[in-house]
Every structure is written in C-alpha cells, then in structure tokens.
Amino acid sequence: MKRASMIVGLLGAVGLAGLLSACSDGSPSASASAGGASGSGSASASGTVTGFGSIIVNGKRFETEAASVSIDDQPSSQCAVSPTNRCGLQEGMTVKVSGSFNGSTNRAANIVQEDTLEGPITSVDVTNSQFAVLGQTVLVDDTTKFDSVVSLNNLLPGQLVEVSGFVKSDGVIAASFIERKPGTGCSAICEVKGTVRNHNAGLATFQIGGLTVIYDSATLINDMPVPTGSNWNGIFVEVKGTGFDATTTTLTATKVEPENEGIGNVVDEFEVEGFVTQAGTPNGNIIDFTIDTTPVRTTANTEFRGGTVDEIVVGAKMSAEGRFDGTTLIARHVKFHESVRLEGDIETIGTNSLTLKGLPGITVTVNSQTEFKANGGATINNLSDLAINNHIRVRGRVSGTNSVIATRIQLRSSDNDVDLQGPVQAASDPTLTILGVTVDTTGVTQFEGVDDGPMSRAAFFAAVQVGTLVKVKGTLNGIVVTWDEAELED
C-alpha cells in the first residue's frame, strides 16, 4: 500500500471520514503525555458495537444523551441509546463515534454506522466458515453476530446481505455483523470497501479482491486523484454500483471515493480496531505498525493485552488506544483480538490439520487464509514445513465444539509450555472446559482479571460464565499438563 494512503487513512473498513475533524480542533489539552489522557478532551473510537446501556464500542463506553445517530448513510437523528432504544444499532455493527471525555466519562456527539459490503451471495462454504459476495471472501467465526434468524447454515447463493466487518491485508473481510436484505442482485445498491489493485486508467477499471470495477472517469472522480495509468493502486476506497454481473464478477460503479479524510487533527483519546496491514521490527516493546490505514506506535510504557510485541505481524486482529498526534496513534495499550490462542508441541500432523500434545481432542485446521511465520531465518509456507514435536503458537477462530480454524501458525523454539485460550463452555470450581478440554485448576496459584491484576480463586470463578474468554497456562510433563495460571481476557 502506498505510504500516502496509509497516512491519510484513519478509516480502515469502517470509513472514518471526518472522524477526527469532528472531535478536535488540534489545540493542546490535559492529555499531552504520549499515549495517556487525563482531565478532559476529545474522544473517538472506531470498531464494533459490543454492548448497550449507553453504547459500548470495542469495550469503550460512551454516554449518548442527545447524540446524533446515522445508520447506513441515512440522515442523522438525535437519539439517546439505551437498553430499550438502540436507535437502529445492533451488536457487531461497525461504527465510528466522536465526542469528548471528562475524567472517566466518555460522551458521544456523533455515532455513524457504516457497513463494509452489501450485495448478493455467490457461494457459501460452511465447512470453512466463509461465503462470497461481490468477489470478496467473507469469514465467519464465533464472534460474528447475525440479525434475526440468519445464520451461516441458512445463507444461500442469490440472497442479498449486508456485512459489517474489517478488511484484512489480503482483502478478505472478517465479518462482525451479517444482515439479510430484501430483494436480489444490485437492483437497489451494492457496496464494497477495499484497497484498489490493477488500476487501468485507459480501460477505466480496477479490482477490489476478486471484483472488477468499471467506472466513468468523467462523472465518478468524487475526490479521487485524476486517473492516470495505475495511480489508484493502494488507495482504500468505497465503491457503490447497481450493475453487477455474477458471471464475470464485474460491478459498474455509480460512485467511487477514497475513504481517507480526517488527518491532521489531534485527538486526546482515540481507539481503532482492525487488522495489521504493515508491521516494523520491534525494538524492545517499541514498534511501528498500521491497523487498517492508521499508523500506530508503541512506547516503553505501552501495555500489551493478550499477546506480546513479537506477535504484532501483518494479519493480526488488534485494537490500539491512546493519543492521536495528527499523524500517528501513540498507544497507551494494544489488544489482540483472535479469540483462540494455543501453544504446544505438535502431536499429529496431516495435510490440512494438526493436534497438540496436552490439548486432547482439539483439531486445528488450516486453509488458504492461514498465515505461517517462523522465528529467525527459517521459512514455513504450509504444514508440510512442520514436523511432529515442533513447538508452535496458534491464533485462530472457533469453528466447532473442539475445532479451530488457524489464522496464524508460528514456529517457536523448543519449550514445554502449553497455552489454551478460548471461550469457556462450562465452569465449576475447580474445573473449566475450553474447546472440549477439561482444565483442572486445583494446582493454579495465579488468577488474574482482564486488567492483569491478581484475583482470588472465588472471584475468578464468580466472574466466569459460559462464553467468557479465558486463557490458562501450564507445563507439559510427559502427556499431562500441570496448569498454573488462569486469566480472564477481553
């Protein structure tokens, strides 16, 4: 991706158009220290709706009295979000919120919901938890929310859907919310967001994922650079159109515009969620990387939640929160978002799956989207480059009671550590069930909350419910794991 489009983004898959300019005039505030905020100032967040009462975006709560709410390009209306009135919003929808904070209280002035993809389904692959719309691959996992009675199992080719989510570096969309729409085809409007590739100004075409877009350069510039050669390549854009040909996977655009306004303004408290699209080399705990199109920098004081600095790699799903200085988000904390994390020695390995010692019953499956990484100078491209007893770290998504689709597999140095992170299926002190594995916590002496602070055993089990994300750590002795740490994750 071009450096220019990386810097002017602040948009990613949710289109942060005007977000920063709406919430700050760039003047100094009480939060001048890198990555931290105190007193009062501007506050913004971009990510998924994770709860209501007021509105919670990626765990960050905003009060919403008299907030302006806009749903899917509809005119804004004054609406106070509450448990009984969600103003058309639903959990899993991607939104941008701009407002202010005073002490620990955040207040929303504007809430804008925007989907990432809308169009007819062309294929459904239940086995690999994915489907295709407008030439884009849409991934579904245990965190994906569905509207009404919709599920992956009852989606069919030809149905019209609206997808909220995040665009990965390879163009694949990780869905956070899926809604069925009336009608078929693009009789109303189709929409897709993504990074331009293979731009041909002479033919007035470009590609987003597997979709070819045809545009009219005389009427569809809409703040795009004047098309010359392949100069649109690398720009993150929003495309709308009504003429979709499923046979050729071609969309005739009625609108093409960049999703890249808003740079140059300071935001005292800013949070962004999405996939890492660029990552530098860490120096201690300091690293420069990019979430969607937002440049992020950690400092020696940045808190890492759910992972370590060496796990900030292209393709990782993360969020970062801190102070946006006009060009870069200086992170106070960063958080890893894949719900499943496994670590251990390979016990069995096949063509497209493997199992780990000490985690009986869990099957880890790879597909074309799985990324492989090795430490040092080694290179791994697929499972054939791994062997039994290799020590690996897996990040992925739940695909069944005891099955995982790996988003990333990393070869590690030999170790006897075993990690298991996933949503709890059953809990009764002293046992937990995670991905079908029964964990006996009798020997656990260290319990921690989501803030990494210590907890008592009683407080820990009081906080755990079915669906709570928990990570347990242990040591492999022969074929038995001795568990010694248990942590609540968010």
Cis upstream peptide for 454 (omega within 30°): no
415-448 residue pLDDT tens = 999 999 998 999 999 999 999 999 999 999 999 9
Residue type, 15: G
Does the structure show a pLDDT above 70 at 146?
yes
266-278 residue pLDDT tens = 889 999 998 888 8
Angle at 438 between CA 432 and CA 444, to 5 degrees: 60
Domain limits of the chain? 340-488
Q: Give the lowest-confidence range in 1-5, 135-139, 198-202.
A: 1-5
Q: Can you tell me the distance from the alpha carbon of 395 to that of 397, in angstroms, rounded to the nearest whole number?
A: 7
Dihedral (Cα; 177, 178, 181, 183), 10-degree rounding: 150
186-200 residue pLDDT tens = 877 899 999 999 999
Q: Is 246 strand, coil or helix?
A: coil
Residue 151 contacts residue 140 (beta carbons within 8 Å): no
Does the structure show a pLDDT above 80 at 16?
no
CATH topology for 340-488?
OB fold (Dihydrolipoamide Acetyltransferase, E2P) (2.40.50)
Residue type, 462: A
Dihedral (Cα; 311, 316, 317, 320), 10-degree rounding: 50
Sorted by sequence, the CB contacts under 8 Å of residue 42 that are 6+ apart come out as 23, 24, 29, 98, 99, 100, 101, 266, 267, 268, 269
Query: What pLDDT, on the 0 to 100 scale, is given for residue 219?
Result: 66
Q: pTM for the complete prediction?
A: 0.70
Segments in 162-259 forming alpha helices (H): none
Between 350 and 218, where is the model more confident? 350
Q: Environment class of residue 234 by beta-carbon count within 10 Å: exposed (0-12), middle (13-18) or buried (19+)?
A: middle
367-404 residue pLDDT tens = 877 889 887 667 888 999 999 999 999 998 887 789 89
Mean pLDDT computed over 60-76? 85
Q: Is 152 strand, coil or helix?
A: helix
| Cβ neighbour number for residue 18 with a 10 Å cutoff | 16
Radius of gyration of the chain (CA): 23
DSSP 309: G
Query: What pLDDT, on the 0 to 100 scale, is given for residue 342?
Result: 96
